[in-house]
Amino acid sequence: MLWYVLIALLVGVLLGRVWALFIRPEPAGFRREGSRGSTNYILGLNYLISNQTDLAILELGKAAKLDSETVEVFITLGNLFREKGHVERAIQIHRGVLHRSHLSDVERNQALLCLGIDFKKAGIIDRAIGIFEELIQRDPDSINGYLNLAELYEELKDWEKAYAAHEKVLQMGYSTSRMALGFIQNELGLISLGEKDYPGAIKRFQKAISTDPTIYPAYINRGDAYLESGEVPLAINYWEKLIAIAPLKSYLVLDRLKKAYEMVEEPDRYEALLVRLAGENRKDWRVRVALAEHDRENGKAKKAYRWLLEASRINPHSLTVHQFFWRLLLEEGLPRDKVEEYVDASREMVFFLDPYICLKCHYKTTELLWRCPHCHAWNSFVEEKL
C-alpha cells in the first residue's frame, strides 16, 4: 500500500513539473505573477521613482527572495546594483537570469541588453561589444543593441563600425542617427586629410554634408582639403557656403577666407564680406571684432574702436573683446577719451572664460567642440548667455 502511495506521489510531482515546464501558458513578454504583487515590490518601485536607490535595492531584494521566478525583479535589481557601481553583483544577477532554462525571447533579450550595459558601464569594452553582438544576432531589430554598439565603437574611434551600427538604426526609422552618421563621415574625412588623400577626404566631407547639411565642420574641412590640393576658388566656395547656411558660424572661416582672398588676389572681398555680415546680423559680435582687427591693421584705429564698442554692447561677457580693447588702447598710447568711453561701456559688464556649454551635460569649454568629450553628444555646444 505504501508503495502505491509513494508512486502516486511521485507521478503527481512529475506531472506537476511537466505542466509547469511545458503546458502552462507563457505570455509573450514578462510574467505578470509572482513577487510583482508583493508589498516589497511596490515599495521598491516607489523608492525607485523617488530616486532612493539604496532603499529600492533593499525592497526589491526582499521581493526577489519571496519569488525567485520573477525575471523582471532580478533584472531591475541588477540594474540598480550597476547604478551603485557594484559591477560584480549586477553581472552575477543578469548572468543568473540568462542561465534560466525557460525564458521568453523578450526576457532573454532584455537580460542580454542589461548584461551588455553592465560591461559597458564597467569599462570592460570587449565583453560589452561581444554581448551586444550576441543580442543583435538573436534580435536583429534591437535598436538598443545597435545604439550601444555604435557608442562603444565611437569611444574606440572605430568609425567604420560605428557608422555601420548607426546606419542600421537609421534603416529602422530612427532619424536621430542621421547627425551621427554625418559627423562620423566628417571624422573619416579628417583621417584621409591627415593622410593627404585629398580626393578621399573631399568625398567623405561631401557625404557628411549630403547626409546632414548641418554638419558645419564638413564645410570647413572640405574647404581645407581643396586649399591643400591647390584649388583655392573651390575652398572659398565651401567656406562661403558655410556662411550662407549658418551666418553666425562665419567666424570659424573668416581667417581662412582672408588668406584665400589674398591668394586669389582679391583682398577687398574680405572687407566687403565683413561689412555685409555686420549689416545682416546685428547680433554678430565676432564679425565686429574681425572688422576692428581689419581696421586696426589698416591704420584706422577710430573705426576699430567703434566696432569694438558695438561688439562689447552685443556681448559684454566676451574676454576677447576686452583684451582687444586694451591692446588697441595701449598701441594708441591710452587716449583719455577712448579709455573713458571704454570704462563707461564696461561698467555693467560681467566676465566669463568658458563661452561654450554642452546642452546635454553642461560641460563648459573655451572652444567650440563638435562632440562633447564628456557625454559624447554630437553638436551639443551652444554659446552660453549669462
Partner 1 sequence: MFRQKTIRKEVSCSGIGLHSGKEVSLRFKPAGANTGIIFKRTDLKSFAVKPLVKLLSKTRYATSIRRGNVSIETVEHLLATLHVLGIDNLIVELDSPEVPIMDGSAAPFIYLLHEAEIKNINSYRRVIKIKKPIRIEYKGKSIALLPSARFRVTYTIEFDHPLIRRQKISLPIRPKTFADELAPARTFGFLKEVEKIRKNGYAKGGSLDNAIIIGESTILNKSLRFENEFVRHKALDAIGDISFLRHQLIGHLVAVKGGHSLHIELVKKILRERECWEFISPPSMVPVPALKAPALSKEGVGWSKA
- Burial of 197 per CB tally in 10 Å (0-12, 13-18, 19+): middle
Q: Is 346 in the site for partner 1 (CB under 8 A)?
A: no
Chain residues 86-105 in contact with partner 1, contact rule CB under 8 A: 86-88, 91
Q: Is 374 in the site for partner 1 (CB under 8 A)?
A: yes
Tally Cβ neighbours within 10 Å of residue 108. Answer: 17
Q: How many residues sit close enough to partner 1 to count as binding (CB under 8 A)?
A: 30
3-state DSSP percent of the chain in helix, strand and coil, to 5: 70, 5, 25
Place of cell 563648459: 364
Q: Give least dist CB 187 to partner 1, A.
A: 13
Considering Cα of 231, then 236, then 237, then 242, what sign does the dihedral take? positive
Task: Collect all residues with Cβ–Cβ distance below 8 Å to 214 and sequence separation of at least 6.
Answer: 179, 182, 245, 246, 379
Asked whether 36 and 73 are in contact (CB, 8 A), the reply is: yes
Q: Give least dist CB 120 to partner 1, A.
A: 8
Closest CA to 206 of 231, 166, 158, 241: 241
Would you say 122 or 349 has its CB closer to partner 1? 122
Q: Would you say how long the chain is, in residues?
A: 386
Would you say 47 or 305 has its CB closer to partner 1? 47
Closest CA to 220 of 191, 266, 255: 255
Q: Give least dist CB 188 to partner 1, A.
A: 17
Q: Give least dist CB 363 to partner 1, A.
A: 6
| Angstrom distance (rounded) from CA 194 to CA 271 | 32
Q: Is 320 in the site for partner 1 (CB under 8 A)?
A: no
The region of 39-47, 83-91, 271-279, 313-321 touching partner 1 under the rule CB under 8 A is 83-91
Of positions 62, 127, 241, 249, contacts partner 1 by CB under 8 A? 127
The region of 19-27, 224-232, 316-324, 370-378 touching partner 1 under the rule CB under 8 A is 370-378
Helix axes 177-194, 216-228, angle to 10 degrees: 20
Q: Is 375 in the site for partner 1 (CB under 8 A)?
A: yes
Q: Is 125 in the site for partner 1 (CB under 8 A)?
A: yes
Q: Give least dist CB 140 to partner 1, A.
A: 25
Of positions 50, 171, 320, 366, contacts partner 1 by CB under 8 A? 366
Would you say 138 or 374 has its CB closer to partner 1? 374
Asked whether 351 and 316 are in contact (CB, 8 A), the reply is: no
Asked whether 136 and 105 are in contact (CB, 8 A), the reply is: no
Q: Cell for 365?
A: 569649454
Chain residues 132-191 in contact with partner 1, contact rule CB under 8 A: 155-157
At residue 356, the 3 state secondary structure works out as strand
Q: Is 121 in the site for partner 1 (CB under 8 A)?
A: yes
The region of 35-43, 66-74, 247-255, 362-370 touching partner 1 under the rule CB under 8 A is 362-370
Closest CA to 189 of 181, 365, 124: 181
Of positions 12, 16, 37, 85, contacts partner 1 by CB under 8 A? 85
The region of 16-24, 78-86, 195-203, 254-262 touching partner 1 under the rule CB under 8 A is 78-86
Q: Give least dist CB 122 to partner 1, A.
A: 4
Closest CA to 63 of 81, 37, 85: 37
Q: Give least dist CB 173 to partner 1, A.
A: 28
| Angstrom distance (rounded) from CA 273 to CA 243 | 10
Would you say 51 or 101 has its CB closer to partner 1? 51
Q: Is 279 in the site for partner 1 (CB under 8 A)?
A: no
Of positions 15, 33, 373, 382, contacts partner 1 by CB under 8 A? 373
Of positions 8, 21, 33, 83, contacts partner 1 by CB under 8 A? 83
- What does the binding site for partner 1 look like in residue numbers (CB under 8 A)? 51, 53, 83-88, 91, 121-127, 155-157, 354, 361-366, 373-376
